[in-house]
Chain A
């Protein structure tokens, strides 16, 4: 029916003269783009252009100090990164950090959400308490944790000593500094994950649980076969979001460790900052940015490929 109308329209248009109709079609085609033009322009200026430009810059030797002297060096910047042992350590640190914060962050939040997904004032209060770190500026959080973790005057070591445990080195040792940053990130991030999980849990229809209860399904079975699959869109969303944000960690490093001691907490974004702003190696910084872009893109793609199929959307 619709087709017939369309054919009729075309015929009419043809008989009425081709030009206005063609103009009409073009206008129709352009119209949606006009509507999204403001948003598109914004993205083009602040998103697509910088991406293209940083890729262009990554093939050059340049510095922010003197933008006139810019020299094509081909793949030299990437080769330099490849050969740099420090950069390999930076990548290893970034992966360790991401794995730990994303993995633990999701597991802890999941169980917290299961516990807190109840109707009583106490649970609401705990929920608010768990969520509150999310709304505090990361810079203040970093400063606070620096005091807490102070090896001599810090509250954490005072507590450890109070219960008879040996003091921990926290940020002062190469072995514990990364762990300390992971702790801060978990404290800051778990609340958000928990709230998202609770929202997910509450959208699971009750009747499925009632059916499971009628079948006398044990609690763990209900958890594995109903709750987790029904939560998979939430889980997937958190996985992607958390991975991307973990890859971009900067504030805590800048405030708490400056990448030290001995590079043990130096991660990609801080490395980029250091190269670009402290050492004036714009080319290396751009190349590392391209590596970051590639990795985050690849990981997200991987998530979608591997996990996307298993996610159960209703």
Chain B
């Protein structure tokens, strides 16, 4: 909890510094012009011109947010004519809501992060700029497995930026002490066995849980894929969960909770994620599911050896990719769009994506980066960083039809109902299907 405060204070400070930086940047620009004309260099001012200012909204706090700020500063230092003003907007949810409000008010940013499953909703509403004419085939440099949430109606709208897959994190010390394979369980049944072995009770009170995961849509998607299923039908018009693959994850989680070897972290949305991570760091939980984007932070803050592994398989391995893409907004001027593309291109280019990956744990997004000596050396030294990239072989895009933005919340509520035993698994799935039919028709 204390850490959370620190993070939010940090976020506030960051926002303030961002605002201050924005102001001082403007002053400098104005001052520069003044001195230029003062020294009689009429031509000088004309040449320097007025730099194009673009707003960039991002949705990562903590250390990851700091890295973004540093990268933007580097971009501004190396690109004369363009000034990017970054600002932190809260979580993905908050950022989306703010983009929505800003678009209708006409003061939208020029570039923003959009969580991958929402790209479709934004593109469908014609809020996003078609990037095709800007990219001109350059998009081939990105890893194909990360492009599944970039296209809408065959047009390129988004470029991968902070991309992830869910991972199983294990406390290797605890696994070793319990005589288990420190590389972690490979299947659901092994996960159950490990969780049992790692759960510790003292006087009727559980002091350590073997396993914990937020009951979140992203992990549910993963477990459905692992059970050989899919969330939506091929055409995206109906829910495909009314089958064994849709139900197995719920039965699995329910039974782990029933046996008292899994903790469902309290809190809604990302609060639950924070609790799971904090419990893991405090060694009150031995294994958790969370994003590869948390790798760097967990490794830095853990007092034990952190291991990352594929999400255990049911019938097969399988995960959704996750994270956010960079998009450009359709309402910006041509001049701003040109500058925005420069920025997007630079942020996701090989040198930057390598730095980004190494300092956060998110995946590098270009093919060249994965093959680079720098990444290879890093993987050698810290194999955890390569797990997500390797897991990409089994990864799928997240559903991104516009109705899914609401449907995913419906699914989340219903699976929580089932896991908390307020409804049977069958009832929960039936409700999802019923609501899904309505939402997907829109």
Q: Give the interface of A toward B (CB within 8 A).
A: 63-67, 147, 150-153, 171-174, 257-263, 274, 277-281
**What's the minimum C-beta distance from B114 to chain A, rounded to whole angstroms?**
12
Contact of B416 among A150, A171, A261, A279 (CB under 8 A): A261
> Are A65 and B409 in contact, CB atoms less than 8 angstroms apart?
no
Q: Report the separation of the CA atoms of residues A64 and B402 in the bound assembly, to the nearest whole angstrom.
A: 14
Q: Report the separation of the CA atoms of residues A172 and B417 in the bound assembly, to the nearest whole angstrom.
A: 13
**What's the minimum C-beta distance from B438 to chain A, rounded to whole angstroms?**
9
Q: Report the separation of the CA atoms of residues A154 and B266 in the bound assembly, to the nearest whole angstrom.
A: 12
**What's the minimum C-beta distance from A152 to chain B, rounded to whole angstroms?**
8
Q: Which residue of A lies closest to B423 (CB)?
A: A262
Q: Which residue of B lies closest to A172 (CB)?
A: B266
9 residue pairs, one from A and one from B, having the closest CB atoms: A172-B266, A65-B125, A258-B268, A279-B406, A277-B97, A260-B268, A66-B125, A64-B104, A262-B417
Q: Give the interface of B toward A (CB within 8 A).
A: 1, 93, 96-97, 100-101, 103-104, 121-122, 125-127, 266-269, 271, 284, 402, 405-406, 409, 413, 416-417, 420, 422
Q: Report the separation of the CA atoms of residues A64 and B267 in the bound assembly, to the nearest whole angstrom.
A: 29
Question: Given A66-B127, A257-B268 in contact, is the A262-B100 Cβ separation under 8 Å?
Answer: no
**What's the minimum C-beta distance from A266 to chain B, rounded to whole angstroms?**
9
**What's the minimum C-beta distance from B6 to chain A, rounded to whole angstroms?**
13
Question: Given A151-B266, A278-B97, A279-B409 in contact, is the A261-B122 Cβ separation under 8 Å?
Answer: no
**What's the minimum C-beta distance from A147 to chain B, rounded to whole angstroms?**
6
Among A67, A150, A174, A260, max chain B CB count under 10 A is at: A260
> Are B413 and A262 in contact, CB atoms less than 8 angstroms apart?
yes
> Are A65 and B268 in contact, CB atoms less than 8 angstroms apart?
no
Q: Report the separation of the CA atoms of residues A43 and B299 in the bound assembly, to the nearest whole angstrom.
A: 56
A and B contact pairs by CB, cutoff 8 A, 8 listed: A64-B103, A65-B100, A67-B104, A150-B266, A171-B266, A260-B413, A261-B268, A263-B413
Question: Given A64-B103, A281-B406 in contact, is the A259-B268 Cβ separation under 8 Å?
Answer: yes
Q: Which residue of A lies closest to B417 (CB)?
A: A262
Collect the chain B residues with CB atoms within 8 Å of residue A258's CB.
Answer: 268-269, 271
> Are A277 and B100 in contact, CB atoms less than 8 angstroms apart?
yes
Collect the chain A residues with CB atoms within 8 Å of residue B267's CB.
Answer: 171-172
Contact of A280 among B1, B125, B422 (CB under 8 A): B125
Given contacts A65-B103, A278-B96, 6 further A-B contacts (CB under 8 A): A147-B1, A151-B266, A171-B266, A260-B416, A278-B405, A280-B121
Collect the chain A residues with CB atoms within 8 Å of residue B269's CB.
Answer: 258
> Are A63 and B413 in contact, CB atoms less than 8 angstroms apart?
no
Collect the chain A residues with CB atoms within 8 Å of residue B125's CB.
Answer: 63, 65-66, 280
Collect the chain B residues with CB atoms within 8 Å of residue A259's CB.
Answer: 268
> Are A278 and B104 in contact, CB atoms less than 8 angstroms apart?
no
**What's the minimum C-beta distance from A293 to chain B, rounded to whole angstroms?**
21
Collect the chain A residues with CB atoms within 8 Å of residue B97's CB.
Answer: 277-278
Q: Report the separation of the CA atoms of residues A274 and B125 in the bound assembly, to the nearest whole angstrom.
A: 18
Collect the chain B residues with CB atoms within 8 Å of residue A67's CB.
Answer: 104
Q: Which residue of A lies closest to B406 (CB)?
A: A279
Q: Report the separation of the CA atoms of residues A119 and B405 in the bound assembly, to the nearest whole angstrom.
A: 59
**What's the minimum C-beta distance from A263 to chain B, rounded to whole angstroms?**
6
Collect the chain B residues with CB atoms within 8 Å of residue A262's CB.
Answer: 413, 416-417, 420, 422
Collect the chain B residues with CB atoms within 8 Å of residue A63's CB.
Answer: 125
Collect the chain A residues with CB atoms within 8 Å of residue B96's CB.
Answer: 278
> Are A64 and B268 in contact, CB atoms less than 8 angstroms apart?
no
Question: Given A150-B1, A278-B93, A279-B406 in contact, is the A66-B268 Cβ separation under 8 Å?
Answer: no
